[in-house]
Structure 1
Amino acid sequence: MRKPFTLRRVVEAIGPGVTTGAADDDPSGVATYTIAGAQLGTSLLWTAWLTWPLMAAVQMMCARIGMVTGMGLAGALRQKFPRWTIALASLALLVANTINISADLAGMADGAHMLGGGPPGVWVVVFGLGICLATVRLRYAQIAGVLKWLALVLFAYVITAFILKPHWREVVGASFSPSWPRGHLMWATLVAILGTTISPYLFFWQAGQEVEEQKAMGRRIATRTRRPTQDEVIDRRIDITLGTLFSNVVMFFIILTAALTFHKAGITEISSTKQAAEALRPLAGDMAYWLFTLGIVGTGLLAIPTLAGSAAYAFAETFHWAYGLDNKLRQARAFYAVFVFSTVVGIAMDFIGIDPMRALFWTAVVNGLLAPFLLVGILLVATDRKIMRDQLSSKLTRVVATIATILMFGAAIGMFVF
């Protein structure tokens, strides 16, 4: 008997989809959307409604791979492609995620300093090592619970936009008036937006969390042959739909805030999250400043475990290591070693003088260039009846994911041509 569709069911369905969607609005996303709004005003607001269904379809496809095969994404891809190709993809993921972690830590440290803390350098170390310690010490259910609550901090960006009292008729007009990108800057920004919303690390994290969810429910994934029930699939679809909607709504309001403040004031060069917050203060007031700063710290705490964890999942499944956030350190040393290595290298990079805002933006661009190739692999796995045990994603999901792949290839080509 099917479960009735009630508010209680929706609340109970909230899980990996919401935390994955919220992690998408990390300081990298904040940086990308702020730069987009500052440089191009409201001209790219429409991308929030374009990326929502695309992101939802891709994440649902990755979730279904995890639910059906009992493996994370790297493990499933290994069934279709040579190990060396998956190893290269895992290495590229590790490099991109480590740069992202470094820039996220820098943004968080600046935020903590502006909220009344000590020197930013101290906060980089405190945040980085604290996240490593918490991940190693806590179990999956505890970590998942913390990440769900941290997602609430993203409302800070929605509130900030409302504080500015925009002319909503003009905003609605810009939101539903897509225009062909003009010039290299607009194409590069479009690639960055696609790369930070439909991002490789989210693919690996979503599939990995499905395996963790099954383990948490006491199922033995390696020998499981049962089909996911229709209710389980529907619950995950609810979860991912809400998570990706939430992510893209937040993206919309960050672009809007930057357009109404920085772009309107002629401030188009944003070099750090600290500068973004401080420039916002005289333009939008103290409340907007504090909310924006709090959001940077909170989203970093949400995203860094996702970034480091996705790389650890990818390497563990590529090389048949024991893995999982429910395992203790001695049970999955290599898995946790990748997690800690990525975070510690990210900490070290913050002491060699990188430009955090530029690094965040260009990491998003790199993700936008790499993601479509990975999406091709995901589509090939998701349409393989043997790997998927005749439990393919819906035709609509496959069609939308294919459209996402084509659009990302097109945006990448446009960036180099125009």
Structure 2
Amino acid sequence: MNKKELAGTPSVVAHRSWIRKLGPGLITGAADDDPSGIATYSQAGAQFGLNTLWTLFFTFPLMVGIQIISAKIGRVSGHGLATNIRHHYPKPFLFVIVALLMLANTINIAADIAAMGSALKLLIGGSAHLYAVGFGAISLLLQVFIPYKRYVRVLKWLTLVLLAYVGTVFAVHIPWGQVARQTVWPQLSWKPEYITMVVAIFGTTISPYLFFWQASQEVEDMAASPSARPLIDAPVQARSSFSRIQVDTIVGMGFSNIIAFFIMLTTAVTLNMHGVTDIQTSSQAASALRPIAGEFAFWLFSGGIIGTGMLAVPVLAGSAAYAVSGAFKWDNSLAAKPKADKAFYGIISAATLVGVVICFAPIDPIKALLWSAVINCVIAVPIMFIMMLMASRKDIMGTFVIHPGLRTLGWCCSIAMALVVIAMFWGFMAV
């Protein structure tokens, strides 16, 4: 059978069809495991061993629910979250949310770029600051000058670097029986430091920038297809679109949490079981792995930090740009030329460049990440409540208001996140 005949076989066609369903959800999920997230999961594994693994199974359905809702809002209405909020809710509320999102994303970009620079320094030596500038420049140039269709394919392939964290598990001994027991029946604690860590995991896993990114990417993908229309105007396209969104989001969020599980597991069975419990950064986690798990695990862990950073920085900068542009009625599309959407690309550039500058500032990166997590946790709650209200409004969703099962899951996620914020402030007051 020649290549053309092979390409036309049902199995190959089905495989290609399945792959094509992966896009915004996969990239969103993978970007969730950025260097800052890696640092959080490493801290959890090192400090509490196997006793925080349960959080990743608990958050998975919540993540899936809220991200499907954000995707549906974008696909049905044909607008991103910020534009929908501007059309239907008080503008001062939107401006405060967008300002806080911009601040949190910029701090997160700085932390991710700094982590990438530190990781490369670990691998080959040299200047971490110089590498940080290089990574920031490369990320910005890719976003500005690579056409959207090609750029999305680059991001999709970059998700494969996360498999490095699956590879680290094969470099260390895993007591799988103990892992299974403590995942299902962990030793929970009411100590402030444990509560704070659970809050950090929730805040890292369910982040507002992911909502804005996935909704806007649905709009971008729709604009890139000549036949696609907002579902409120073209309901005949709903069945295939919703099927794709569901598969894409479940796979993306599942991939995200599996990788987070392996990061937490690797640091738990290496660092925690060898008495290394104080890990502050992702690069510090990689360094600590070296004498315990060996060179292979060290290189995989460090290389993964760089790859995930290259994936996450564009998502952070892009989601900030979508939010700001939607709030101020600016044209916003990665498919447009920079000259056409100057303000949109200006926000991407500003967020990335300020992130690079922060790397040189005398700011404690751990405190910066802490405040970024605090801001993300706080603004996630009103955004999620607004999303739930929008997804239930017929003037926004038409006949595609979310069904009772998804509505229940979305409200459960929103309420859980509100409780996390309350627990976070309780932990701060208790320290």
TM-score interval (norm. to shorter): over 0.9
Does structure 1 conserve the Cα–Cα contact (< 8 Å) formed by 2:322 and 2:344?
Answer: yes
Counterpart-to-counterpart distance in 2, 1:13 and 1:213:
11
Residue 97 of structure 1 is aligned with which of 97, 105, 110?
105
Q: 5 Å matches for 1:213-362? A: 213-218=221-226, 225-227=233-235, 228-362=237-371
- Which secondary structure does the structure 2 equivalent of 1:331 belong to? coil
Deviation, structure 1 residue 272: 2.9
| Cα deviation code 1:315-344 (max 9, x no counterpart) | 111110011001111110100111111111
Counterpart-to-counterpart distance in 1, 2:367 and 2:303:
21
Q: Name 1:73's counterpart in structure 2.
A: 81
Aligned partner letter, 1:141: K
| Cα deviation code 1:5-34 (max 9, x no counterpart) | 954432221111101100000011101101
Q: Name 1:20's counterpart in structure 2.
A: 28
- Which secondary structure does the structure 1 equivalent of 2:325 belong to? helix
Higher helix share: 2
Long gaps (5+) in structure 2: 1-9
Deviation, structure 1 residue 415: 2.9
Q: Name 1:375's counterpart in structure 2.
A: 384
Deviation, structure 1 residue 353: 2.8
- Which secondary structure does the structure 1 equivalent of 2:52 belong to? coil
Q: Name 2:7's counterpart in structure 1.
A: none
**CA distance 1:211–1:338, shift in 2 (3 Å):** same
Does structure 1 conserve the Cα–Cα contact (< 8 Å) formed by 2:199 and 2:421?
Answer: yes
| Cα deviation code 1:173-217 (max 9, x no counterpart) | 111125554111111111111111110000000000000000110
Identity of aligned residues (%): 41
Deviation, structure 1 residue 134: 1.4
Q: CA RMSD in A?
A: 1.9
Does structure 2 conserve the Cα–Cα contact (< 8 Å) formed by 1:34 and 1:255?
Answer: yes
Does structure 2 conserve the Cα–Cα contact (< 8 Å) formed by 1:193 and 1:364?
Answer: no
| Cα deviation code 1:248-287 (max 9, x no counterpart) | 0011111111111221222222233332211110011000
Counterpart-to-counterpart distance in 2, 1:187 and 1:365:
14
**Correspondence 1:84 to 2:92:** yes
- Which secondary structure does the structure 2 equivalent of 1:182 belong to? coil
Counterpart-to-counterpart distance in 1, 2:250 and 2:71:
12
Aligned partner letter, 2:225: M
Deviation, structure 1 residue 219: 5.2
Residue 186 of structure 1 is aligned with which of 191, 194, 200?
194
| Cα deviation code 1:95-119 (max 9, x no counterpart) | 0000000000000001122221531
Aligned length: 416
Counterpart-to-counterpart distance in 2, 1:248 and 1:398:
22
Does structure 2 conserve the Cα–Cα contact (< 8 Å) formed by 1:28 and 1:361?
Answer: no
Return 247-256 or 369-378, whichever deviates more: 369-378
Deviation, structure 1 residue 218: 2.2
Does structure 2 conserve the Cα–Cα contact (< 8 Å) formed by 1:191 and 1:369?
Answer: no
Q: Name 2:130's counterpart in structure 1.
A: 122
Does structure 1 conserve the Cα–Cα contact (< 8 Å) formed by 2:109 and 2:313?
Answer: yes
Does structure 2 conserve the Cα–Cα contact (< 8 Å) formed by 1:273 and 1:357?
Answer: no
Return 333-342 or 155-164, whichever deviates more: 155-164
Counterpart-to-counterpart distance in 2, 1:172 and 1:218:
49
Residue 38 of structure 1 is aligned with which of 21, 35, 46?
46
Deviation, structure 1 residue 390: 2.0
